[in-house]
């Protein structure tokens, strides 16, 4: 199924964030998927990292963080994991 309105930024692209490419604590993802397609360097992002198994409170808190990020006009960076990440992205 083709993805619509999704940009793909490879690790060798000048749009790939240098801080992520040079991260020494692990392996950076080879591709980033962005919705809508955009220049990553021109936005302020808030990262949400969580667990795939969380409490009702965790789901609610993640959802509220996502709402606040959107209300402030910021962009959300998440790995779309099943629980916290997904609820922040709703």
- CA 4, 72, 65, 32 torsion: positive or negative? positive
Across the range 37-47, mean pLDDT stands at 69
Give the pLDDT of residue 12. Answer: 93
Across the range 34-55, mean pLDDT stands at 73
Across the range 15-34, mean pLDDT stands at 81
Distances (CA, A) of 62 to 34, 47, 69: 20, 11, 11
Across the range 6-24, mean pLDDT stands at 83
pTM of structure: 0.56
């Amino acid at each position: 199924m083709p993805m619509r309105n999704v940009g793909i930024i490879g690790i060798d692209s000048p749009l790939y964030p240098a801080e992520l490419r040079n991260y020494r604590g692990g392996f950076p993802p080879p591709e980033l998927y962005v919705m809508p397609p955009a220049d990553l360097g021109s936005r302020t992002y808030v990262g949400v990292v969580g667990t795939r198994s969380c409490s009702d409170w965790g789901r609610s808190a993640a959802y509220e963080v996502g709402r606040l990020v959107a209300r402030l006009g910021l962009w959300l960076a998440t790995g779309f994991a099943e629980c916290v990440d997904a609820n922040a992205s709703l």
